[in-house]
Structure 1
Amino acid sequence: MSNTFAPLPNNDAFADFADGVSARIQRVGVNLASDRVNLTLPDGKKLTWPMESLRALPDQADRESLVLTSTDMPLARLYLRDTALSGVVRQAAANLHRRPPVENIGRLLKWGVAAFASVALIVFVLVPVMADQLARYLPPEGEKALGDTTFEQIRNVLDDTGFEPIRVCETTAGTAAMQTMLARLNPVADLPYDIQVTVLDHEMVNAFALPGGRIVFFRGLINEAQSAEEVAAVFAHEIGHVVNRDPTRDALRSAGSIGVLGLLFGDFAGGTVVLFLANRLINATYSQKAEAGADSYAHGLMTQAGLSPASLGTMFLRLKARYGEQEGLVAHFAAHPQLSERIERSLAAAQEVVVTQPILSAQEWSGLRNICGRTAAAEQPSGGGAKDNKEK
């Protein structure tokens, strides 16, 4: 592009000028020469911007104007609204649309790495530590409210029709059988709330615990169990998670991580947070320490109730043989290299247990199997078809 141009009459005009130091906008005189732009400030002071130093900036408010800066004064702005004057500058300034060179790229990279490390530290270290502390001191009312809200969201998430939440199974006989099972297990932990158990009418082979003492079974898990003792073993395992505050801790960690990421990448609506927590708690993957703690608690609870802890291990072994390593109920456990050790521990814990009597009578077990008003035997898989989820 040539640096020569047809001069305007007198080459004089006026423009708005910001010096980049104060917030004041000044009206300045503009005079063009072949190689420079001369500015006259209100106090008479003169500024000279060489043509090669001029850079154009986008003006989002007025796209007809030409907004200039100079590499000599990168924070200053000159707003040319005279179209004739702007045309001359566009013709004369060869570097008008050249991007300025990136300076201190090494320092920028260091800042970027430091920022990423800071976010990782917050999400993976500080948030879990804070969640562990908050889980101990969160008021029971708040913990239970979080669990109840998440439970209702889970019902909506799992509904395939989009019209109403998934149905809660609560036949009289089935509900009574669940309460009999809970009374027999009789968790003695000093919890600030009662254990509340609910069965949802869904084929997923899964059970999980929510903050506030709520334990949720899916119809699919009850149908998969071959005895009431297997259901009781899963029940005891989930009670262990409640006693150890694992669901509350996991929910707080997830919510804290969402908050940090929301500050960085845009806010999340409250409903989105609850939806995320719902999916997170359905598919919770606790640490090996948390799983071992829940296992140990389940072994003790089953032993105390005169039931064999081996029911937990035999159920996983049977389903593992049916569905394979990575599908069905045992998918979560199969992801841990210590799965075999955990099954062995449950079998070992049963060696000195004196089994007194079944946890449910045959009639009660039948009532539990049909708690959703369906015939469980008719829904047993014929083989090979694995469910999509897992029990924790």
Structure 2
Amino acid sequence: MTDIYGAAPAVEEPEDKAVYADYVDGTDPVMHRVSLELSRSHLNIIMPDGERILWPLDEVRALKDQAYSDGVVLAQGFDDMARLKVDNPFVAKELRAVAPRLNRAQPVTNWGRIGAWASGAVASVALIIFVLVPIMADQLATYLPPEGEQALGDATFEQIRGALGRENAAVRLCEDSDGLAAIDAMVDRLAPDDDLPYPVRIAVLDHELVNAFALPGGRVILFRGLIDEAENPEEVASILAHEIGHVVNRDPTRDALRSAGSIGVLGLLFGDFAGGTVVLMLANQLINAKYSQAAETGADDYAHDLMRDAGLDPAALGTIFQRLMDEYGDAEGIAAHFASHPQMIRRIESAQAASEGGEYGLPVITEAQWQDMRSMCGDSHAEQDAPEDDENGGGRIERRVDEPDAGRGGGTLGGEN
């Protein structure tokens, strides 16, 4: 058919109205981008190669405690390990309307069969937890979706605040505006530009603990006690760079997988990113963590490079390590992670060696900004600190690297004995 001028009308491209989701078959830990079709009785999952997987609607279940508040993570029945992650909130809402048993809890039945499974599993639990999980942690970490890592990190962050608080009150966060600006300036000077799926988010806790660590999903925690102990802002910057190194290397996510055990690993892989057991274990692990020498060396090397690239002396990392060891010995706080470490002197020497031959310019932040950072938690901590581990704090800061793909991971500053 032609128009009045004899020309054929333009053919409009058909609009792609397909609905997409992410699918894991429960055997091969690979996420597949699939399309969905909904019939009267089935949810049709169409694989990239055209294969169709049919889930009867009355067997579709929604996972509990999963991190996708706008979407939903689905399974077929209670025994199938396949998972379907639907991010589209409208599709998730439609599925909730048509799947009659979507939110049904798993029945506790057939205790004889459960007992037999439990008996048969006892012999393999030690193998899984102590052998297979550590071996697989490096590989499995790459399969956790970024939003899941962030949800796990956020939940662990709140757990840590509660664990270090007192009188049922969480440790407060420092939020003085001038202190926030100083933190921003320090991060801008370091300028980590790694290609990561989420930003680095920095929080300062008003607690006298002399430590710092990073969580899954890009959170980095600095404690007021560490800032108080630092003699100059470059020492704080070097520790922050070290933690960003853990972020980039995804050390906290790997640690979460190692800490979670087999059940926790399955939950993390298939949607339970805020599960209470994993969060509790990871919070305790981070507060008392000792990373392997390889992980600490990797974070140190990253910090050396980041400091040099920013025109800052990487020897600052070795300087604060040495002073804290001399001052605290093996007592508490950050020094407890370092003092008994047989490789600590080598790490200090490595920071000094990384400093050689470099040209270092202006301070990481101005003297005024440094004073703003040191006072950002206010004076309230003087009355709230106590010799026990139940101290409180005050105020809040949560800052983000401006690059949308700027950071991840982490751990404590210490190493494994």
TM class by shorter chain equals 0.5 to 0.7
Post-superposition Cα deviations, 1:191-215, rounded to whole Å, max 9, x if no partner, equal 1111110001111111000001110
Q: Structure 1, residues 315-364: CA drift from partner, whole Å, max 9, x if none?
A: 11111111124544222122321110010000111111211110010100
Trace 1:350-361 onto structure 2 (pairs within 5 A): 350-361=355-366
Q: Is the 8 A contact 2:243 2:413 kept in 1?
A: no
Aligned partners of 1:253 and 1:332: how far apart in 2? Answer: 19
Aligned twin of 1:130: 136
Letter in 1 for 2:125: V
Structure 2 partner of 1:210: 215
Measured in 1, the distance between the counterparts of 2:264 and 2:157 equals: 21
Partner residue of 1:334?
A: 339
Q: Give the corresponding residue for 2:245.
A: 240
Question: What is the SS of the residue equivalent to 1:144?
Answer: helix
Task: Name the structure 2 match of 1:169.
Answer: 174
Instruction: Indicate which of 203, 226, 233 corresponds to 1:228.
Output: 233
SS of the residue 1:199 aligns to: strand
Partner of 2:86: none
Is the 1:369–1:375 Cα contact (8 Å) retained in structure 2? no
**1:1-392 to 2 correspondence within 5 Å?**
118-162=124-168, 164-256=169-261, 259=264, 270-325=275-330, 327-374=332-379, 391-392=413-414
Residue 278 (structure 1) shift: 1.1
Tell me which amino acid in the other structure corresponds to 1:244. Answer: N
Question: Conserved in 1, the CA contact under 8 Å of 2:241 and 2:307?
Answer: yes
Write the distance in 1 (CA, Å) between the matches of 2:246 and 2:279: 20
Question: What secondary structure sits across from 1:169 in the alignment?
Answer: coil
8 Å CA contact 2:230, 2:236 repeated in 1:
yes
In structure 2, runs of 5+ residues without a counterpart are 1-118, 266-273, 391-411
Distance 1:347 1:194 in 2: 30
Query: Take 2:160 and 2:380, find their aligned partners in 1: how far apart are those partners?
Result: 24
Amino acid corresponding to residue 130 of structure 2 in structure 1: F
- Determine which structure has greater relative contact order: mean sequence separation of CA pairs < 8 Å that are 6+ residues apart, divided by chain length: 2
Q: Which amino acid aligns with 1:294?
A: A
Counterpart-to-counterpart distance in 2, 1:237 and 1:183: 16
One-letter identity of the residue aligned with 1:293: G
| AA matched with 2:222 | F
Q: 1-side partners of 2:351 and 2:388: how far apart?
A: 24
Report Cα offsets for 1:165-208 as digits up to 9, x if no partner: 21111100111111111111011211111111000111111100
What stretches of structure 1 of length at least 5 have no aligned partner?
1-111, 261-268
User: Are the counterparts in 1 of residues 325 and 338 from structure 2 also a CA contact under 8 Å?
Assistant: no
Report the AA paired with residue 141 of structure 1. Answer: E
Q: CA deviation at 1:386?
A: 12
RMSD, matched Cα: 2.9
Q: After superposition, give the CA deviation of every residue in 1:107-157 in whole Å (9 maximum; x if it has no partner).
A: xxxxx9x98874333112211122211211211111111101111111111
Asked if the contact 1:313–1:343 (Cα under 8 Å) also holds between the matched residues in 2, the reply is yes
Structure 1 CA distance, aligned partners of 2:253 and 2:388?
30
Amino acid of the structure 2 residue aligned with 1:229 = E
The Cα of 1:258 is off from its aligned counterpart by 6.5
Which letter maps to 2:376?
A: I
TM-score of the aligned structures, taking structure 2 as reference length? 0.59
- Structure label with greater radius of gyration: 1
Separation in structure 2 between the aligned mates of residue 274 and residue 244 of structure 1, nearest angstrom: 20
Amino acid at match of 1:250: D
Tell me the SS of whatever aligns to 2:202. Answer: strand
Q: Distance in 1 between matches of 2:121 and 2:256?
A: 25
Residue 117 and residue 326 in structure 1: after superposition, are their counterparts in 2 closer, same or farther (change >3 A)? farther
2:256 and 2:278 in contact (8 A); partners too:
no
Deviations 1:25-66 (CA, angstroms, capped at 9, x unpaired): xxxxxxxxxxxxxxxxxxxxxxxxxxxxxxxxxxxxxxxxxx
Alignment partner of 1:208: what SS?
strand
Distance 1:306 1:188 in 2: 15
Q: SS at 2:195's partner residue?
A: coil
